[in-house]
Every structure is written in structure tokens, then in C-alpha cells.
Structure 1
Amino acid sequence: MDKEWKTVEVLRHSRHDWLNKMQLIKGNIDLNRIDHVKAIIEEIIIESQHESKLSNLDMPKFVETLLTANWRSFLFRVEFEVVSLELGCCELDEFMASWIENLFDSLSQTLCNYGENVLFVSIDENKQRNLRLSFELQGTIENERVLFDFLNQPWKESFCTEVTHFGIDEVHFYMEIPCNKNK
């Protein structure tokens, strides 16, 4: 990751995010939309649980890249979930941080700068206990060749990226990475 985050920057971005959430809750309370308030609070709880699981993966650079992605000027928003993974792959931290940065750069060259573009990332492990990241990109794709080439280039031995759907407004792909975890 190129940017070194200073504590005050992290606190400023975090405070801004929380203020937005509080204003959303307050606005719905003012409109007496209590069901919406409950749903927003539940969403915040789930999001916080995923952030906590992500933070515990022992992959600090990769985690920082995902956690701070929405604070940067990308043409897309990143949402993530950690499904059933307790330990990450610390030996792959730098590689994964670099790979996800390259993915973000490719998406910035691929997506339209108008409309809502969202990258959903789901992190878990497969039956062989390999790290598995599933991606779902929704948005307006202008230059599919950049993303297609990025996803189809060779990375590392035993490192698999597979595209399962490539459409004009949606792309699904996943990667599986062998990891030597000491559990």
C-alpha cells in the first residue's frame, strides 16, 4: 500500500464514517422509521463483526488495504465479509496486499466514473483449508479488457484465480491460495 496512514488521519476518517451512520439513524428516528433504525443498527453490528474478524487474520498489510479502501478516491466502494476463517496466511500478507492494490488499480481503469460501483469481497477457506477470496463486482464496466487481462495473468505457482461470470455490469471471480497454517 502506498499511503502511510497517520493516526490523526485514521481517526478523522473513522469519525466521519461514524458521524454518517449516526446522522442516518437520527434522520430515521426523526421520521419515526424505527424499523429502518433497527435495520441500520443491525447492519452496523454485522459490519463491525466482519471488521473484527478481518483485523484478526494476521495479515496486517492486506487487512489495512481492505479496511482503508473506502477512504481513498476509487471509482468503487468495497464491502467485505469474513465467513469462516480464523487465521490468515501471514506469509502471504505482502503478496496479497500488493495483489489487491493491483486489482483496485485495474478496477479504476475499468469502471465508469458515474453510477454506483461496488466490489463485494468474501473471505473464507475451502475444504482443503486454502484461503479463498470470492469477488463480486457490480457497476458499469467501460474497459473490460484491463480487468480481463489482470484476472487472467499468471501470479504465483499454486495460486488460482478463476472468473465465473464476466458481464457488462457484473463480474464474479474467486481465488484460492494454499497456505501453511499452524493451527
Structure 2
Amino acid sequence: MESENLTIGKALKFARHDFLNDLQLMLLYMDLGKIPEARRTLLEATERMRHISMLENLRLPKTEIWLTTFEWKHTVFTKKLQCNITAGKRITSDDAIVDYLERLICIIEEAVDPMDEYIVNVAVNATEDHWSIQMTIEGSLTELRTLPETDGEFDVSGVLQDKQWTFTLSGR
């Protein structure tokens, strides 16, 4: 799905779908008498929502939306999000971060095999005066290019090892 086609209505539809999937899985486990699995599924869903809601403290609303809707727009990836964020004033352009992340993911999508599974572990960390977004892509990547250039508002680094590419954006 192209990012410009993601309306509020479509985002809500995806969110409802994900939520109903979690509920149906819990119900299935309960119907099968597998209460520990139902409990685990409930706790995992609750933890995912806690991390998503913590993104608001990043104080970069467009970046928050991009990270939240990432796997709806880039369906080849499964996302796992981990946040440790303290609210603070950010001086980096929210638009610049989102533009960079989108360009980077489009480059990565050109290097994926649509028949393989790709997991993206996203770690968002922020203190009052510094933030970082680290994305680790697990899966076989071919013909991977170098990281795109930034406008200098934030730093970017990346490491490609075996079947894993980790890149980090950081700024103030």
C-alpha cells in the first residue's frame, strides 16, 4: 500500500482488524481450554499497545504515525516495537525523519524476496534531549545499497551482517 493512500479510515480499519485478530486468538485458546496461551496472548497484545502508546512521548507526531502504521503500508515486514521514551523537546524536523525512513524502507523493499519472511525490530529510545530509532531487519537481503544521505539534521549509521541489517537514526 502506498503511504499517500493510508487515510484515517483505512488506519482505523487496520487497527480494528489487528485488535479482532488478537481477540479471536484469545477466544480460540479459551475454547480449547488453553488458558495459559490465552493469557500469554492477552499480555502480549497489552504490551504491544503499551509500546505504541508510549510513542506519543517522543513528541514527533508524524514519526509516531509512520512507526505505528509501518507494517500496514509495508506488508512484506512484520514489526516488533520496543519503546523507552522520556518526553522532551525535539529540534529535529519530524518531516525529515519520516521522509528518510520512507526512502530507506523503499530501498530495502527492493532487496527483499517476497517469498521470505522479514521481521523488523524497532527500538525507540529517548531522553529529554536525545532520541534514537534503531531498526533491525532480519531476513535475506540481496543487492542492498548504502544508506541514503541525510540533510544533516540527524545522524544515521548502519551495519549489514549475515541476514540482518541494523540501522540507527539519532538526533536531538
Please say if 1:155 is aligned against 2:150: yes
What SS is found at the alignment partner of 1:157? coil
Deviation at 1:157, TM superposition (A): 3.0
Structure 1 spans left out of the alignment, 5+ residues: none
Pairwise CA RMSD of aligned residues?
Answer: 2.3
- Counting aligned pairs with the same residue, the percent is 19
Distance 1:173 1:10, change over 3 A: closer
- On the 8 A contact 1:138/1:170 being kept in 2, the answer is yes
Equivalences for 1:29-178 in 2 at 5 Å? 29-87=30-88, 89=90, 91-125=92-126, 129-144=129-144, 146=145, 149=146, 151=147, 153-157=148-152, 159-163=154-158, 165-177=159-171
Structure 1 residue 88, shift from structure 2 partner: 6.1
Query: Is residue 58–residue 88 contact of structure 1 (8 Å, CA) maintained in 2?
Result: yes
- When residues 5 and 166 of structure 1 are mapped into structure 2, their CA distance, relative to the original with a 3 A threshold, is closer
TM-score by length of 1: 0.82
Structure 2: unaligned runs, 5 residues or longer = none
Equivalent residues of 1:88, 1:131 under 8 A apart: no
Q: Is the 8 A contact 2:3 2:73 kept in 1?
A: no
Q: Is the 8 A contact 1:66 1:78 kept in 2?
A: no
CA contact (8 A) 1:134 1:174 kept: yes
